[in-house]
Structure 1
C-alpha cells in the first residue's frame, strides 16, 4: 500500500503541472487578450487566484504522499 501511495504522489504532482499549464495557457491568457471587460476579470481570477490554489494544493498533496507523510506506521 505504501508503494501505491508513492505512485499516487507522483500522479498528483504530474496533475499539478498539467493543471498549471491548462489554467495559464488555455484559460487565463486567452481571456486576457480578448479585450472584453468580463473576459479580463475572468482571466485575472483564473491566473492569480484559482491557478495557485489548485496547482500548489495538488503539488503539496503529491509531495506529502511521495515523502511518506501519510504512512500508517509513521510516529
Structure 2
C-alpha cells in the first residue's frame, strides 16, 4: 500500500504541474489579451487566486506522499 501512495505522489505532482500550465496558459493569459473588462477580472481571479491555491495544494500533497508522511506504521 505504501508503494501505491508513492506512485500516487508522483501523479499528484504531475497533476499540479498540469494545473499550473492550464491555469496560466489556457485560462489566465488569454483573458488578459482579450481587452474586455469581464475577461480581465476573470483572468486576475484565475491567475492570482485559484491557480496558486490548487497547484500548491496538489504539489504539497504529492511531496508529502513521496516523502512517506502518509505511510502506514504496521
Kindly state the Cα deviation for residue 72 of structure 1 after the two structures are TM-superposed. 1.6
In 2: Cα distance, 1:10 partner to 1:72 partner = 18
The equivalences for 1:27-66 within 5 A come to 27-66=27-66
Aligned length: 74
State TM-score, norm by structure 2.
0.97
Tell me the equivalent position of 2:12.
Answer: 12
In 2: Cα distance, 1:52 partner to 1:7 partner = 23
In 2: Cα distance, 1:4 partner to 1:15 partner = 16
RMSD, aligned CA: 1.0
Q: Unpaired runs of 5+ in structure 2?
A: none
Q: Unpaired runs of 5+ in structure 1?
A: none
What CA deviation, in whole Å up to 9, does each residue of 1:4-53 have, x standing for no partner?
A: 00000000000000000000000000011101000000000000000100
In 1: Cα distance, 2:12 partner to 2:72 partner = 19
Q: Segments of 4+ in structure 1 off by > 6 A?
A: none
